[in-house]
Amino acid sequence: MDDSVVVALFRHGITEENKRKTYLGWNDSPLCPESREISTSNSYNLYFSSDLPRCITTATILFPNEDLNLLSHLREMNFGKWEGKTYEELKDLPLYKRWLSDPKSYSPPEGESFMEFTTRVSIGWDKITEAILSQNIQRCAIVTHGGVIRYLLSEFTPQHSDFWSWQVPHHQGYELVFEKEALRRRDTCTLLREVPLTAKELG
């Protein structure tokens, strides 16, 4: 249908720091070997990625030879002094306890508040939708981070599930199907579908 637009959201492949269950925001970490073997048969007309290396690498694995538009707006939340730390390392800190109980009211030291994070991502979304509409794009892919995808799903899907309700596993994407006018008005999509990623075939 000419009036529909597909926006696909892909989380970067799992990294060494993800395996350690650290807070990984603006810091980076190399992809694990299994993340270098992922593939998808889906193709798109326009590609965006967070400017952090783990997303760029994932995007070039999934969509080789495609031009990437890099946006710093698509970065994960900045966890400040908690970057690279685990729950076990932080669990006794009073501010960390308050943040866990009310993450919208507290923020990591020298990091982003929830409002700063979502405002930044929202600006990035507007830049992407402006490009989609001005170039009459029908299929767009975004490679980004778990927190970014959770926010976009909480804002633009009909389920009305909040940020923390969404599970965003590595090695799976989501496609949001919008009517063009709904995309222009920042309304919700009409359809949400999962896009599993598969291991590359050998040979």
pLDDT score, position 161: 82
Domains present along the chain, CATH in parentheses? 4-199 (3.40.50.1240)
pLDDT in tens, 60-95: 999 999 999 999 999 999 999 999 999 999 999 999
Percent pLDDT > 70 in the chain is 97
For 173, how many CA atoms within 13 A lie in the half-sphere containing its CB? 26
pTM of the model: 0.94
